[in-house]
Amino acid sequence: MAGSQPTPADTAREAVVEAALGTLDLDAKARLLAGQDMWTLPALPEIGLKSLVMSDGPIGVRGVRWTADDPSVALPSPTALAATWDPELARRAGVLLAQEARRKGVHVLLAPTVNLHRSPLGGRHFECYSEDPYLTGAIGSGYVTGVQSGGVGTTVKHFVANDAETDRFTVNNLVSERALRELYLAPFEAIVENARPWGVMTAYNRVNGTTMTEHHHLVNEVLRGEWGFDGFNVSDWMAARDTVGAINGGLDVTMPGPRTVYGAALAQAVRDGEVAEATVDAAVRRVLRLAARAGILDGAEPVVAEPPAPVDGEALAREIARRSFVLVRNENAALPLKPNGTVALIGAAARDARVLGGGSATVFPARIVSPLDGLTAALPEGTLTYAVGADPATELAVADRGFTLKAVCRNADGTVIGTRSAPGGLIQWMGSDLPDGVTYDVLHTVELTGTFTPRESGPHTFGIKGMGAFTLTVDGTTYYDDVQRPDKDDPFEAFFGAPVPRAQVELTAGEPVDVSLTYVVRLPDDIPMKVITFALAHSAPQRDPDELIAEAVEAARNADTAVVMVATTDRVESEGFDRTDLRLPGRQDDLVRAVAAANRNTVVVVNSGSPVELPWREDVAAVLLGWFPGQEGGAALADVLTGAHEPGGRLPTTWGSLADAPVTQVTPTDGELPYTEGVFIGYRAWEKAGRTPAYPFGHGLGYTDWTYESLETDGSTARIRLRNTGARPGREVVQVYVSPAEPDPERPARLLAGFASAEAAPGESVEVTVALPRRAFEIWDEKAKAWAFVKGSYEIAAGRSIEDRRLSAPINV
Ligand code: BGC
C-alpha cells in the first residue's frame, strides 16, 4: 500500500507465493486465472493450492448454491447500513459476514458495492451506500475491515462508474477525470487506503471509451500505481471479452467459467507473443497472494489464524435495522407509540415484508420477522389489528407461502434420476450443483411438483419465470405446454426477467391442490457455464382495491394510531434494470391519503431500498424510512415504534421528487451516457440547482433533542460540544460540512468532510472531535493531473443535516 510497510508476515507470505509461482508452467498459470465454474478457481495440487471460492455479497453470504435450501443471515440493505453513519457497526457486520463465509466454505465475499447514487432511478441503488463519496468510503472501509478481520477476502465493486443498470454490459460512461477522482473513484481510494482490500471487482461498463475489464489507466496506473493496491482484480461475471485486452488492462481473473477468455486462450496468446509471460505472472502472483492471505496455499500463514469470537447474526441484523431506520418526520411526538394504545397495522408489506433487494445480492434467510410478527410480539394482546389496505405487487412473485415443492429430475425415458427439495419454487442450479446422482448428459426434464394450500379463496394466478419449454399443471388441469422466449437480448434475462402469467385457477382457502411445472432442459449456448434457472410464480386473488382501502380506513378509524407500511416491489428495485419513476406502485398513495384523513395519528413506514416519492408526507403525523431491513426487520421496527430504542438513521442520500432531482439520466444515447453534471450529484447538485428536496442529506430524528453548544476548529479537526436537552438518552450523528467562503461555480457549495456520533443521557453534554481530511480542501486539477489544495477562507459547519447546520466557524487554510 502507498505509505504502509509490509509486515514480517506479509514478507513471509510473499516468499511462499514466489516459490509457488516459480514452479508453475504457463498452462497452469493461465488456468488459475479463469473460473472453473460459477464461483470457484481451480485447485493446483502441485503447489498445495486449494480451490478458491467466491460468493455474493453484500448483505449476506449466499454460498455456491442459489437456493433457500442453504440459508444465510440477511442483514439490512447497504443503504440501511450507510444510514447508520457508523463505520464501526459496518465493521461488525463484516465480522458476521466472515463468519457466514467460513461456515459456507467461502474465501472471498463479492462485496461491498460502492458505486454512487448518481441518479435516483438507478435500479441497484439499494445495494450501494450513498450519494456521497466520503460516507461511502467510510462505511465501505468499516465493512471491508470487518470481513477481512475474519480471514475472508472482499472485492470492492464495481470499479468504476457502474452507477446505473441500463445497458450495463456495454454503456460507455463519459466522465471527466475530475468527477472520477472527486466522486466515483474516491470511495475505492479511501477503502484501499484505510482497509487494504484483498480484491476489487471490475465493472461491466466502459469509462471514456474503454471497457473496465481492459482499463489500463484506471486499473494499472491509478488503482495499482498511484494507490498501491496489492490485491487481485476479478471481472464482474461475464464482463471480460478479450484475452489480450483484459490481461494487459490489468484484469487478473475472469469469472465465471468454464468457457473463458483466459485459460487455454491466454496461454496461446503468450505463445503467440501477444502477451508477455511476465504480465501473466503478475496476475498469478496476486491470485496466489490472495490464496495465501485466505489460508488456502500450503506453507503460507493465513492473515487470520483464529476466527474471531462468534457473532449472533439475528441480534446483529436487528440492531443494524433499528439503527438504520430514518425518522424523517414526527409531528406532535406521534412516535414512539403511547403504551397500551391501539394500533391498526396496514399494508401488504407489513405481512409479507420485502426484506432485501433483488439480483445477485439475494440471499435466503432461514426466517423473516415481518412487521406484523414483530408488532404482534411487542404489543399487548388485543391492541393490534391488521388490514392489507393495498397490495403493491402488480405482478407474479416466485411461489412461496403455502407451497410445498420438490424438484424431480428425469432422463429422456421419464425415469427419475434424482430429486431435491425446492423451498420457494425457484430453481437456480449452476455448474456442477445438481441433485445427487444427476448429470447433464442424461438430465432431460426438471419437474417442480408438490402442493399449494391457499390463504384466500378466489382466482389464483400461476405463472412461469424462465426461458424454454414448460408444462404447467394445477389441480390436474394442464394450463400451459409451450415455449417461453426472451423478449430482451440480455444474457441474464432468465434471472431478471418478469414471470409470465399462464393460468388462473379458482381455489378455496385451506384446501390444498397439486401443482406441477416441468421444464425441458436446454442449456443456453451464449453463457460460459451450465445453468438451469426457472421458477413457478404465483399471485393470490386480487381483491377490489377500493374495498381494500375502505377496510383499512375502517381499521384506522377504530385505532389510536394507524401504522401504514408502503413498499416497492422486486419489479421496481433490482439489479438488471433501472427505475422509470419514483412512485410507490399500485394504490399505495391513495391508501395513505385515505388513512391519514381517517386518523390524525398516521405513521407511515417506507419499505424501500432507495428513494420513493411521498406526496402525502405533510398530511401524516410521522414518516419512518425502513429500507430493506433484513430478516429481523419486523422485530427492529417494533423496537423503534414502541420506543424500546430510538431510530438511529440519518439519510445517506437526498430524498426528493423525480421532477426536482437535478441528475436523473440513466439511459444512454447511441451507447453513451455523458455524466454532464460533472462533480454535481446528490446534495451537491440540489444545492447548485437551488432546489429543496423533501428530506435533505444527513437528516433524521431521534427521540430526544440536542443543542449544539460550541464548535472549535483549527482546519485539521473540528471539536463540537453538544448537549442532550431531551428527556431520554440518545445518540446523535454530528456532521461536519466544509464550504469555500467565496462561492466557486466549479466547486460544490458545501461537502461532507467528516462525522462522529455522540451518546448522552438527558441533560448530559458531550464533545466529539472530527478530523477534517485534507481532501475536503482539494480539487482534482485536470491540467496538472494532480490534487490541488485550494488555499483560502472556508466555513466549517456542524449540524444535524446539510440543511440543519447549528454552528459554524470561519477558518483560513
Ligand atoms: C453482479 C455482481 C455479482 C456477480 C456474481 C453480477 O451480475 O453485477 O455484483 O457479484 O454478478 O453474482
Residue 3: pLDDT band with limits 50, 70, 90: very low
Closest ligand 1 atom number to CA of residue 127: 9
- Which of 56, 109, 254 for mutating ligand 1's site (highest number of atoms within 8 Å of CB)? 56
- Give pLDDT tens digits for 192-228: 999 999 999 999 999 999 999 999 999 999 999 999 9
Cα of 236 vs centre of ligand 1, distance in Å, is 6
Residue-level pLDDT at 1: 41
With a 6 A CB cut-off, is 56 part of the ligand 1 pocket?
yes
Closest ligand 1 atom number to CA of residue 110: 10
Q: Where are the beta strands (DSSP E) in 662-792?
A: 672-674, 706-713, 717-724, 730-740, 751-760, 765-771, 778-781, 786-789
The topology under which CATH files domain 39-256 is TIM Barrel (3.20.20)
CB atoms near residue 414 (< 10 Å): 8
- Which of 113, 493, 575 for mutating ligand 1's site (highest number of atoms within 8 Å of CB)? 575
Residue-level pLDDT at 808: 98
- Please tell me the class of the 397-539 domain: alpha beta
- Burial (0-12, 13-18, 19+ Cβ within 10 Å), 5: exposed
* Cis peptide bond upstream of 87, omega within 30: no
Closest ligand 1 atom number to CA of residue 56: 10
With a 6 A CB cut-off, is 360 part of the ligand 1 pocket?
yes
Q: Where are the beta strands (DSSP E) in 578-670?
A: 602-607, 622-625
Backbone angles phi, psi at 467, to 5 degrees: -115, 135
CB atoms near residue 271 (< 10 Å): 12
- Give pLDDT tens digits for 685-715: 999 999 999 999 999 999 999 999 999 999 9
- What is the Cα–Cα distance from 175 to 162, expressed in whole angstroms? 12
- What is the Cα–Cα distance from 261 to 259, expressed in whole angstroms? 7
The mean pLDDT value of the chain amounts to 95
647-658 b/e (C-beta count within 10 Å ≥ 16 → b):
bbbbbbbbbbbb
Cα of 544 vs centre of ligand 1, distance in Å, is 39
Active site residue 236: yes
* Position 394 pLDDT exceeds 80: no
Residue-level pLDDT at 279: 98
With a 6 A CB cut-off, is 237 part of the ligand 1 pocket?
yes
Task: Compute the chain's Rg from CA coordinates.
Answer: 27
Cα of 199 vs centre of ligand 1, distance in Å, is 14
Q: What is the mean pLDDT of residues 43-54?
A: 98
With a 6 A CB cut-off, is 165 part of the ligand 1 pocket?
no
Cα of 194 vs centre of ligand 1, distance in Å, is 24
Cα of 360 vs centre of ligand 1, distance in Å, is 5
Nearest 5°: the CA angle 286, 289, 293 is: 140
Nearest residue by C-alpha to atom 6 in ligand 1: 237
The topology under which CATH files domain 313-394+544-674 is Rossmann fold (3.40.50)
- Which of 166, 169, 236 for mutating ligand 1's site (highest number of atoms within 8 Å of CB)? 236
Q: Where are the domains of the chain?
A: 39-256, 313-394+544-674, 397-539, 704-812
For cell 458531550, name the residue: 766
* Position 529 pLDDT exceeds 90: no
The answer to whether 322 and 645 are in contact (CB under 8 A) is yes
Cα of 490 vs centre of ligand 1, distance in Å, is 14
Nearest residue by C-alpha to atom 11 in ligand 1: 237
- What is the Cα–Cα distance from 374 to 368, expressed in whole angstroms? 10
- Give pLDDT tens digits for 655-686: 999 999 999 999 999 999 999 999 999 999 99
- What is the Cα–Cα distance from 694 to 655, expressed in whole angstroms? 6
Residue 491: pLDDT band with limits 50, 70, 90: low
User: What does the DSSP 8-state code read for residue 10?
Assistant: H
The answer to whether 599 and 137 are in contact (CB under 8 A) is no
Q: What is the mean pLDDT of residues 88-116?
A: 98
The topology under which CATH files domain 704-812 is Immunoglobulin-like (2.60.40)
Among residues 132, 236, 252, 352, the one annotated as catalytic is 236
Q: What is the mean pLDDT of residues 624-639?
A: 98
Measured in residues, the chain has a length of 813
Q: What is the mean pLDDT of residues 733-739?
A: 98
Rounded alpha-carbon distances, angstroms, from residue 45 to 48, 50, 298, 391: 5, 7, 10, 55
Cα of 623 vs centre of ligand 1, distance in Å, is 33
Residue 69: pLDDT band with limits 50, 70, 90: confident
CA 473 to chain centre: 36
Q: C-alpha grid cell for residue 114? A: 460502492
Q: What is the mean pLDDT of residues 83-110?
A: 98
The answer to whether 470 and 462 are in contact (CB under 8 A) is no
CB within 8 Å of 403: residues ≥ 6 apart: 424, 425, 450, 451, 452, 515, 536, 538
Residue 498: pLDDT band with limits 50, 70, 90: confident
* Position 4 pLDDT exceeds 70: no
Nearest residue by C-alpha to atom 7 in ligand 1: 237
- Which of 110, 162, 490 for mutating ligand 1's site (highest number of atoms within 8 Å of CB)? 110
- Give pLDDT tens digits for 740-756: 999 999 999 999 999 99
Residue-level pLDDT at 489: 63
Residue-level pLDDT at 207: 98
* Position 298 pLDDT exceeds 60: yes
Nearest residue by C-alpha to atom 3 in ligand 1: 360
Residue-level pLDDT at 493: 66
Residue-level pLDDT at 358: 85
* Position 792 pLDDT exceeds 50: yes
With a 6 A CB cut-off, is 236 part of the ligand 1 pocket?
yes
With a 6 A CB cut-off, is 290 part of the ligand 1 pocket?
no
* Position 2 pLDDT exceeds 50: no
- What is the Cα–Cα distance from 786 to 789, expressed in whole angstroms? 10
User: What does the DSSP 8-state code read for residue 217?
Assistant: I
- Neighbouring-strand partners of residue 153: 108
Cα of 237 vs centre of ligand 1, distance in Å, is 6
Q: C-alpha grid cell for residue 233? A: 482484480
Q: C-alpha grid cell for residue 523? A: 442449456
